[in-house]
Chain A
């Protein structure tokens, strides 16, 4: 156990656990773990709830600056290099994929982050949602030739720091 924590992989795993918990706590504090509140933003009729916009302001306000500072560093704390997306082309696949995701988001009021928080809290609806999401991702693998490598094998250190 101690050896695991001392290794770089062990450290980045523990750090990811902390980051996930902080991310989830942020979702809970901001009210984004209540799908009705998300739908209150997406449904523009009636009593519109702009809270989601303020969640994005808060998140981007912090991460915009943090990214600009962090990305100038040689490497992250517990990894060899930064793994950030490098593509700049805007193709039909990106656009259609985003539109399809938005349809799902507007139908249920769940996006993946809040869905995992809600899944652990329990409930039939969210369990069905996550199972269907998993199936949708699984279907996408062969159909799209998606390679879910997460980071796109990019070594940001070899690139200009700003996109």
Chain B
């Protein structure tokens, strides 16, 4: 079990908001990770460089953490077969709903977009139901 860490959560959250603002002010784009990834693979070719660079920035942090601060990035407690199912749902769902926690949850909610407010309420609700059910049913224990 993890402890409630409000201060580091707020500071890290502010950094996320700042990063989204930086991408908006510099490139004029929404920092939605699922959209950036999918469009880097299936989208316009001339837009590929900045999308790959953004994902590269995320990955650079992962490398730095693994090297300097092991423990900051940890594995999921869920078994691998459940993570495979999870990945399918996340991949398909973010394409169908056109966004994830970053695109809808952070950027869209900040813009007070009706679509993003609805999407965020729905994915948090279904996430809560799913995570709670997985524990109650003892799946993957």
> Residues of B within 8 Å of A, CB-based: how many?
120
Q: Are the C-beta atoms of A120 and B118 separated by less than 8 Å? A: no
Q: Are the C-beta atoms of A58 and B10 separated by less than 8 Å? A: yes
Within 8 A of B (CB), among A46-82: 46-47, 49-64, 66-67, 70, 73, 75-82
Residue of A21, A30, A80, A130 near B9 (CB, 8 A) is A30
**Total A-B Cβ pairs within 8 A:** 548
Judged by DSSP, the binding face of A is helix
Residue of B nearest to A156 (CB): B28
Judged by DSSP, the binding face of B is helix
Residue of A19, A29, A59, A113 near B22 (CB, 8 A) is A19
Residue of B21, B28, B35, B115 near A66 (CB, 8 A) is B21
**Which residues in B have some Cβ–Cβ distance to A below 8 Å?**
1-6, 8-39, 41-44, 46-47, 49-51, 53-63, 65-66, 69, 72-78, 80, 82-102, 104-115, 118-120, 122-136
**Which residues in A have some Cβ–Cβ distance to B below 8 Å?**
9, 11-37, 39-40, 42-47, 49-64, 66-67, 70, 73, 75-85, 87-90, 93-113, 115-126, 128-141, 144, 146-151, 156, 162-163
**28 A-B pairs (CB sep. < 8 Å):** A19-B57, A20-B54, A31-B5, A39-B77, A42-B132, A43-B132, A54-B9, A63-B20, A95-B118, A98-B99, A98-B122, A102-B122, A106-B132, A106-B134, A108-B78, A108-B82, A110-B90, A116-B62, A119-B62, A121-B65, A132-B83, A132-B88, A135-B91, A136-B89, A137-B94, A144-B96, A149-B43, A149-B44
